[in-house]
Chain A
Amino acid sequence: MNTLGVSDQLRTRHRKAVLFRTTCATTVGVAIFILGILLVRIVIDGVDGLDLHFLTNFQSRFPEKAGIKAGLVGSLWILGMTAAISIPLGVAAAIYLEEYAKPGRLNRFIEVNIANLAGVPSIVYGMLGLTIFVRWFSLERSLLAGAMTLSLLILPVIIIASREAVRAVPSSMREASFALGASRWQTVRHHVLPSAVPGIVTGVILAISRAIGETAPLILVGALAFVAFTPEGPMDEFTVLPVQIFNWASRPQAEFHQLAATAIIVLLIVLLSMNGVATWIRHTNQQERS
């Protein structure tokens, strides 16, 4: 029967459509389920070791005595120094590209270059830092060499995010400022930058949280796995949380794996709270605008 055939066909098409929808929904579910497993596994593995001693003890060859003081303090140093180097550079570059640059070959080249730098593997930055900062500049295995390397690594991310924030400032604001006789820099300094700050801060926090989780470039630049002191200044040797985690995870003994899991919890708490702050700033800012 022809009509029956058509309705049969319709039914299978609709059945397929439902199945397809379910499949797509399932893939999202699977992805989020994996995230759940990952987090739960790490908490189960490591939560027992999480106490004050773990935060205040240095690395030790005895797992029960080992702690992450050196890594935690080192990561905070790296965080501060990388921020101090990369934020001014990145925001300035973004302002130049958005507010000053005239469309031309050179600026087009800078843009393409930034987009491509963002995709260079982080380990290549490590090799750059090792050769230029550690050897040519003789900074040795210092915090400064590490922070400079990571700054170059996250610079493209900061520039791209800051440009978006600067671009989102309505041009009516600039025109009003120019109409009152303000110069370009005065316009940028007093009008564009203040309204772009929430967007810039969000992007910067996300970029810096990437730097905090980086391991490979710092291993190349010479972050040490076994450090039993906290750095006093930018020229001191150092270790960071991820390098410490790598060191523990690469040992065969289960006790050290547990230490790695505990250190991962600390690292993830730091990262998630940074991300939380970034999301919160973006959220409150969106509400203010609308």
Chain B
Amino acid sequence: MTSPDRSLAADPGLTKKASRSLRETAIQGALFLCALVSVVTTVGVIVVLASESWTFFREIPVHEFLFGTRWTPLLEPRSFGVLPLVAGTLWIVLIAAIVAVPLGLGSAIYMSEYATPQARSILKPLLEILAGIPTVVYGYFALTFVTPLLKSLIPATQIFNAASAGIVVGIMILPMVASLCDDAMRSVPNSLREAAYALGATPMEVSTRIVVPAALSGVLASFILAASRAIGETMAVTLAAGATPKLTGNPLESIQTMTAYIVQLSLGDAPAGTIEYRTLFAVGALLFVITLGMNILGQRILRRFREVYS
């Protein structure tokens, strides 16, 4: 009697099968490695930001960085308080929200509650063009159109100012707000709308008292995700908002955001290893932590919301 091993080897169909399963495993492994690239990227970001800021924070205490109110890393006397950059970023987010929230929410209500499917299929891609325009183009638009417009309305407007940059960032994130709110509102079950209509509600009452409250967490998530996008926006604010880190209550003045500082520093030639160079990573780490926190929060709200209605 031959051993089972030899009979297996003698059958050409079975060896073919064995080599096939080997090949299958190899392919699966290769595909898995590709999927792992994203994890490696995250680890890379964290390692890079953490290691360079670690050396930064050995020289500059964390509390001095986080709560200091003067940011002059390139000028004597040096001071490394990041609050002016954070305040500049907050101005941009605030002004962008003033533009994007009403326009985005209004557009979303119109698209999900009023527009015919045909109108919607034209309007949505049109709005998405706004999101596809490169940010450097918005910077140009802010500098050559919005700022002169603001100046003609309020002569005290400076050439570089937070308002102009914030307005274009608002235009840029508008499609994101509109699209996410539209998705949230469209996933509200029609039975809720029909019940309200049956009780005699007008379309406005259905929208404002039924649909928007029912979609509220999706709407909220859209605001958070859009705000996070505004915080990370770089080129429009670098071109239009200025390079003057300061705490100011006037959005018509020149400011500087965290992202704009990073660009400014990398355009100059701060040699690697100096404290100026490391400020890049300390500011970058702060930016990363803020946007990551907001994204995780936004995604979590979105996911919870989807579970309720599906």
* Cβ contact within 8 Å between A183 and B20: yes
User: Are the CB atoms of B204 and A21 closer together than 8 Å?
Assistant: yes
- Is the Cβ of A35 less than 8 Å from the Cβ of B130? yes
Which residues of the other chain, B, contact A195 by a CB distance below 8 angstroms?
Answer: none
Which residues does chain A contribute within 8 Å of B239, judged by CB atoms?
Answer: 246, 249-250
Residue A185 contacts which of B27, B137, B262 (CB distance < 8 angstroms)?
B27
A121 touching B35, Cβ below 8 Å: no
Give the residues from 219 to 235 in chain A that come closer than 8 angstroms, CB to CB, to chain B. Answer: 219-220
- Are A116's CB and B137's CB within 8 A? no
Contact B203 A17 (CB under 8 A): yes
Binary CB contact string for chain B from 290 to 310 against chain A (1 if under 8 A, 0 otherwise): 011001101100000000000
Interface size on B, residues (CB 8 A): 87
Main secondary structure of the interface of A (DSSP, over half): helix
Q: Interface majority SS on B: helix, strand, loop or mixed?
A: helix
Q: A28: which of B110, B205, B229, B267 is its contact (CB, 8 Å)?
A: B110
Interface-central residue, A32, A90, A127, A219, by most chain B CB under 10 Å:
A127
A271 within 8 A of B: yes
Measured CA separation A118–B235 after assembly (Å): 18
Q: Once the chains are docked, how many angstroms separate the CA of A115 from the CA of B303? A: 12
B38, A271: Cβ atoms under 8 Å?
Answer: no
Those of B224-252 within 8 Å (CB) of chain A: 225, 228-229, 231-235, 238-239
B204 touches A20 (CB 8 A): yes
Q: Smallest CB–CB gap between B48 and chain A, Å?
A: 4
A-B contact pairs, 11 of them (CB 8 A): A28-B110, A38-B171, A119-B291, A120-B232, A123-B234, A123-B263, A127-B48, A152-B41, A213-B137, A220-B263, A261-B140
Residues of B within 8 A of A (CB): 20-21, 23-24, 27-28, 30-32, 34-39, 41-42, 44-45, 48-49, 52, 102-103, 105-107, 109-111, 113-114, 123, 125-127, 129-130, 132-137, 139-141, 143-145, 171, 174-175, 178, 202-205, 207-208, 225, 228-229, 231-235, 238-239, 259, 262-263, 266-267, 272, 280-281, 284, 287-288, 291-292, 295-296, 298-299
The 5 closest A-B pairs by CB, nearest first: A121-B232, A27-B106, A213-B134, A92-B34, A96-B31
